Each structure stands twice: as structure tokens, then as C-alpha cells.
Structure 1
Amino acid sequence: MGDSTLGLSGATAIGLGGMIGGGVFSVLGVVAAIAGSAAWAAFTAASLVSLCAAYSYIKLNEVNDVQGGSVTQIQATVGNSTLAGMVGWTLLFGYVGAIAMYGYAFGSFAVRLAPLDSLFGLPMRPFFSVLAVGLFVALSVLGARATGSSEKILVALKVAILFGISAWGLYYGFTVNRLQFGTSQFASVGFVTAIAISFVSFQGWQLLMYDHDSIEDPQSTIPKAVYISIAGAIVIDSMVAILVTSLVKTSVIQQHPEIAVAKAVEPFLGQVGFVAVALAALFSTGSAINGTLFSAANFSKGMLSDGLLPDRFGDSDADGAPTRAVLVLGVLSAAFAAYGSLSGITSFGSLAFMVVFGVMSYIAFRKRDEDAIRGAIPAVGVAGTALFFPLLLWHLYTAERGTFFAVVLISVAVVGVELLYFERDDLKETVERVESKA
């Protein structure tokens, strides 16, 4: 990504690459296990709410005449450093969840290709997941990242493989009368829950908000790239979701959600198709780890410069991504990928991005009097995230109670640390007053 003249195609490839890695190869099986043949509609609905958040980001950049992501826009609009910092920390934890999700998917496909489920009695999926995250941590520390040209090539190959296989598979499903669309499930609680879970797969476009310096004419290019990449992700995700839920038994999806896509091609392409999809998955999730880790580290660099992260987290004057920030993000992501469940990891990431996207949509809605902002669009973003957040928590509480309590404990701990950090001066003064009176 070091290309200083990254154009529309390169920027679109970056946004689309992350969303394909998150949607098709990481979240699809979990969503399909809940929504069944309505999974394609769940992805589409989640993408539309994410699209409203993207609109909010873009319009806030426009009306504030300040280029940047959530932290920059909160500071420009609200002027509250504590709120900006807490949203920034939440976003970083969301990126940790996203990287862990990509790492989990990478490991799942790697063990199928090896094939090597265990070695000396130890499961190999966590090993491959940690290895993948560790590899890209090393590359980020060395300053290596996919250029615009290489990213375009990788994304083009992934899209070609997925589009071609999906079109072939849908034709096959049509000929044997097996295509299902799940319209009867649209009014179910499970369907809305699936929308909430799939939310994390539509955050890849946000990485473009931190790449203004490497994109040619960013004011014009970034909005186009964001909208095109989301539209492309909708098409690919929907086609693959219909393919998977039509050709793979629900019991198989529930048992192996991480490789549901590869399982879907076996009826008409056999082992060759399985290998082709698995290789595409490794490239896709690997590049998603690389891009997300690099952008998250650069995002943290901006927070360090604004005093919104402790100095020990990294060097704001570093040439490139701060090494310590990369290492911290990598270690946390690897731990989640190794010890978390795929459903738990995706739910954690979705919750974090819901909070951030909801806040940004609300801020844009507050500025609806500006001529550039149509209030109805950010309003949908606020309403969608406000509905999905408690519903996803309820799903975790009823279906995965251990994951629910883990997410709640982590969230409480994070918010507590955030408040201690951002309100440390006020707390120090309060303690000093109490001690002086004593």
C-alpha cells in the first residue's frame, strides 16, 4: 500500500478485499447456521446499515473539512477528547476481533489443505492461526505491506474464483432444483440475529479512511471506492451464501461453519473445487490480516500523537507503523484466534463495530441541518445498530453463555481502563483533595 498514487481500482481492491475475507471466508458459516437459506438477505441487510455508517463518515469528512476516521471526526464535531479516545479504543478492540477472525479462518483452511488436524495430540488449527498472525506481524514490523498493484491482483483473483464458482454452482443448483432463498425466515428473530453477527464482515471499507496520504485525490476517490466495494461485497456474499445454503446440509454447516464455502463446491467440482476455494481463502484471509493490522497500527499512531493512548503503546514519531503497537495488536489477536470460538470472535468484533458505527451515524444525524447530509440515511444507521446490539447480546446469553460473560467482562474491563486513563487527572485531583482533608 505504499503506492503514493493509489487510484480508484486500487482503493476499491483494499476495501473489497477486507470485506470478502470477513464475509465469505470467516462469517458466512456462522450466519448460515443461524439464518439458514436466508443468510444472503442477512448479509445484504447488514451491508445496508454499514453503508449508512459509511455515508456518515464520508459526509462528516466533507462538512467538517477534516479528512480522517471516527476519532478525527468526533474531535472535530464534539470536541470531547475522552469520547474520541474511548471510541478509538473500542475501534482498536474491534480490529483485534477482526484480525482474530481472519486468523481463525486461515487456520481452519490450512489444516484442511495440509491435511493435519493434530500433531502429537495437539490441535493444529490454533497453531496455524497464530502462525498466520505472527507472520504478518513480522512483515508489518519490517514495513512490508501489499502495494496497490499486488492488492488489486489478489482481489481480482479472489473475486474471479468466487464469482465463477458461485455462478457455476448456482446454475448447478438451478438445474437440480435445489436453490433456496429462505424468504419465510425474514420475520424470525434468528434472521435479525444473523444480521447482527454478519455486521463485522462489512467494516473493511473503513481502512480507507486512514489512507488519505496514499490515495490519489482522496476527497473524490475514497467515497467512490467505499460505495463500490460495499456493493461488490453484497453481490459476492449473496451469491456465495445462496450457494452454500442450497448445496450444503444445515447439519454440515453447523459442524464445520469455518469451511462451509469449500464444502459447497464439492457436489459439482469435487476435491479440485475444494482446493481452489481453500487456496483463495488463505490468500484472502492472509491479505485481510496484513491490511487490517497495518491500518490499525497506523490508526493507533494517530491516537498516540493526540495523546489518546499511553506512550508505552508505541512511538508516535516512528517511521511507519509503531513497532510496539503492531506487537500488542498482534499478540491480542493471536490469543483470540487461538482460544476463542469462531462465533465468539465474530460476535465480539460485530459488537465493537456496531458501537463505533452507531456513534458516527448519530453524529452525522445531529448535523442533518447541513445541506450535504440527508438525515434519513444516518438515522437508519443509528436505528440498525441500536437494534442489533442488544439482540446480539441476547443471542450470546441464550446460545453461548460462556462467550456472553467473557464479552461482558472484557467490555467492563476495557471501559474501566479507558475511564481511568482519560479521567486520570480528575481522579488524581480528587484523591489529593481527600488525602489533604484526611
Structure 2
Amino acid sequence: MSAPPTLARRLGLGDAVAIGLGAMIGAGVFSAFAPAAQAAGGWLLAGLAIAAVVAYCNATASAQLAAVHTIAGGTYAYGRAELGAWWGFAAGWCFVIGKLASCAAMAMTFAAYAAPAGWERPVAIAAVAALVGVNLLGVTRTALAAKIIVAVSLLTLAVAVAAGFTAPAAAGGAFAGELPSGVWGLLQSAGLLFFAFAGYARIATMGEEVRDPSRTIPRAITIAFLVALVVYAAVGTALLWTLGAAGTAGSNAPLSDAVVAAGWGWASPVVRVGAAAASLGALLALIAGIGRTSLAMAREHDLPTFLSAIHPRFKVPHRAELAVGVVVIAVVAFADLRGAIGFSSFGVLLYYLVANLAAYRQGAAVRRYPRWLQVLGAAGCVLLAFTLPWQSVVAGAAVLGIGLIARAIRLHRERARAAD
């Protein structure tokens, strides 16, 4: 019996960093700061710091696991290997469902900046279809597109930050002050801002396509995380300085409003272009990551095995990526996506809880980081997950339960057939 087809190792360090940054920069800068400011007020940067600590612990867990398990699937594969099949399934299911919501949110964010009024949904659908097409051409095309989009996004953010720091300070003081919702609101802001850091998982999910993965993936995760942290800190500081906590919380497009408030009205279109590009970068990396996790789950029969096919020429999981595109287009066409950030954060925090537990189980021979980082990361994931808006917690828990019940039914039927 021949071995199943595998993906091709075509990505170097720069490619992996670009894919991770593309996922992080677009996911957070243009969507997470306003709701986080609503929760934490002038303590927004403290919320960012808490999110960064939890994210760093998770990043080290992912890096340590990826250095040993150099296959596609990320924490789904790591959870199966280190903790057992049920843990792996829980991680993979949370990732796929949460990130499908993120895909739809990023598509609609792109359309909000790029489409004429009334054309947002058709433009968002077209963007999803186009990026699925890019991914189907091969992972090197995905990496090239990610590099271009990241460059445009970072240049745009540099303009916005420069504008913010040339403006006078916002009236009433920009930083600290009273917490509008107490410590609970601070933790909730951290949970929402964690959404912005989750993109480094995309590097790990593509472990079967990275050259020298045991060395490249840990380095790429660390570099992408540190660059994103510097960018987020600069953007958050500029927003609070220019708009203040109330202005940031009340804005649908805080970066665009910040450059206008600073007197750089000419830069508002530049920011809109950058926001659109960043959203496309996040969407591109998300589609790739969900496709690889779906491939890994299909190989283990946790998703339909039809999705485990790899294209003979382009070496991508083409059926899985096409399925992702179809589902995201359906969500964009019919769903209200205002709660997508909280829903996605809940799923991804549970995903990284499994990653920390799996990394904790690894022995001394493969250990790169001390175990206390995994303990801190796991505790942080649980704390932030259950301080998210209650609607997100209820919806996320319900979807996780549906997935676990469906798997239990499938296994029961398989055992019954085997006994006949």
C-alpha cells in the first residue's frame, strides 16, 4: 500500500515570517483596538501587554512542538501526538470553526475599506474567491502575495503612526484613568487583543511545507511575534494619543480617524488602501492555515477523507481549500459578523490551551523552553477565554460541544460496523 501524498517543502525563513505577519497584522490592527478600548478605556496598552504575555507563552509552546512534529495541522497534529486523539480533535475543531469566522470578518473588513457603498458583500465574496485561487496555485504564490501585502500594510501603518505622534494630545488625557468595567474589562480587552496575535499559528499549520522545519519554524514564530508586538504597541499608543480612549472606542475606522484628527487628511485614502491590503493578507494566510488543518483532520477521518487530496502539480490541499472558500462565501453572504472577533478569540484560546498542555508533556530531550511558560500560557488561555463577552463564550462552547458529539457518534458507528 503506497504512502499518502505529502506537501512539498518550498518555504524558507522569510516566507514563513511573511505568512505569519500577514495573518497577524491584518487580523488585529484594523479590527481589534476599538472593541478593546471599549472594554479597557485608557488601560488599552495594559490589555495589550497581558495579551502579549499569553501570546508569547503560546508562541513558545507552538515553536517547541513544531520543531518535533514537522507535519501539517498545527496543534491538531500536536495534540493527537502528545495528548491523544480527542485533544487533537478539540484543538482542530476550535481552530477551523473559529478561523472560518475570522475569514469572513477579514473579507468584510476588506470590502468596508475597498468597496462602494452597497457593494460590500459582492466585493467580499470576490476577494475570497480570488485568494482561494492564489492559494491553489501553490504555497510559493501564497508566500509571495503575503510578502507584498505585508510590505504595503507596514508602510501604511508607519504613515498612520507618524501622523498620530505629530498630533496634539487628545483632550482629557489619553492613558490610564479609571477602568470603565474594572479588572474584568481589562481582561476582556486582553482577550479581544489576543485575536491580533493569533496569526503565528499559520506558520505551524504549514509545517509540512517549510524547509528545515525544526530550525525554521521556531525562528519564524519568534520573529513574526516580536515584529507584530512592536507594531501593535506603536499603533495603540498613537491611537490613544490622538483620539483618546473614548475616541478610539467609538470609531469604526480608528486609524483613518487618527490621521484626519492629526491634520493629515491626505493620508486617509492611504490608510484605507493599507487596511484593505492588511485584511487581504490576513484572509490569504487564514485560508491557507484552515486548508492545512482540514487536510490533517481529513487524514485522520475527523473530517471527510475527500478533503485529504493533494493536487499532483501544485502540491496544495486543493479540495480542502475549495471547501473553505465555499463555506466562507456562504457566511459572508448571509451572516452578521459583528461578533466574529470574540467568537474567534474563544476558539483560538482553547486551541492554544491544547498547545500548552501538549508542550508541557514533552520530555527534556526536545525541550526548548521551561515548563512554567506552558503553565502560564494555559492559565492565561483559560482566564482570557472566559472573560470574553458572554455571547462569544456561549456560542463557542456550543460549537465545540457539537463537534465533540458528532465525533462520538462517528466513532460509535465505526465500532458498530466493525463488530458486525
Coarse TM-score class (shorter-chain normalised): 0.7 to 0.9
Equivalent in the alignment of 1:415: 404
The equivalent residue for 1:389 is 385
- The partner residue of 1:40 within 34, 37, 45 is 45
1:55 shift after superposition? 0.8
Out of 290-299 and 192-201, give the one that drifted further: 290-299
Corresponding residue of 2:4: none
> Residue 80 of structure 2: which of 75, 79, 100 is its match?
75
Q: Is the 8 A contact 2:167 2:261 kept in 1?
A: no
One-letter amino acid of the structure 2 residue matched with residue 388 of structure 1 = L
3-state SS of the aligned residue for 1:308?
coil
Instruction: Tell me which residue corresponds to 1:121.
Output: none
1:7-156 alignment runs, 5 A limit: 7-62=12-67, 64=68, 66=70, 69-78=74-83, 80-111=84-115, 114=116, 116=117, 118=118, 124-141=119-136, 143=138, 146-156=141-151
- d(CA) in 1 for partners of 2:376 and 2:147? 32
Tell me, in whole angstroms, the C-alpha distance in 2 between the residues paired with 1:340 and 1:269: 37
Q: Quick one: which of 246, 271, 274 aligns to 2:268?
A: 274
- Paired with 1:366 and 1:143, the residues of 2 have a C-alpha distance of 35
Aligned 1:1-400 pairs, distance under 5 A: 6-62=11-67, 64=68, 66=70, 69-78=74-83, 80-111=84-115, 114=116, 116=117, 118=118, 124-141=119-136, 143=138, 146-173=141-168, 180-182=174-176, 184-185=178-179, 188-248=183-243, 253-254=248-249, 256-257=251-252, 259-313=253-307, 315=309, 320-367=315-362, 372-392=368-388, 395-397=389-391
- Alpha-carbon separation, structure 1, partners of 2:260 and 2:172: 15
Q: CA deviation at 1:105?
A: 1.2
CA distance in 2, matches of 1:154, 1:327: 22
Report if the CA contact (8 A) 2:164-2:241 is conserved. no
- Taking the aligned partners of 2:416 and 2:177, their CA distance within structure 1 comes to 54
After superposition, the Cα gap between the structure-2 partners of 1:407 and 1:55, relative to the gap in structure 1 and judged at 3 Å, is closer
Structure 1 counterpart of 2:108, one-letter code: Y
- Residue 177 of structure 1 and its aligned partner are, at CA, apart by 7.5
Give me the whole-angstrom Cα distance separating, in 1, the residues matched to 2:268 and 2:178.
30
What 5-or-longer segments of structure 1 have no aligned partner?
Answer: 119-123, 398-402, 433-438
Supply the distance in 1 between the matched residues of 2:95 and 2:240 (Cα, whole angstroms). Answer: 32
Please say if residues 75 and 81 of structure 1, whose CA atoms lie closer than 8 Å, have aligned partners that are also in contact: yes
- Alpha-carbon separation, structure 2, partners of 1:340 and 1:29: 21
Aligned equivalents of 1:429, 1:218: Cα separation in 2: 38
Moved over 6 A (4+): 176-179
- Could you give the per-residue CA deviations for residues 125-165 of structure 1, whole angstroms, max 9, x where no partner exists? 33333332232234334558645445334322321321243
State whether residues 135 and 141 of structure 2, in contact with CA within 8 Å, keep that contact through their aligned partners in structure 1. Answer: no
SS at match of 1:135: helix
RMSD: 3.1
Whether contact under 8 Å (2:167, 2:242) holds in the other structure is no
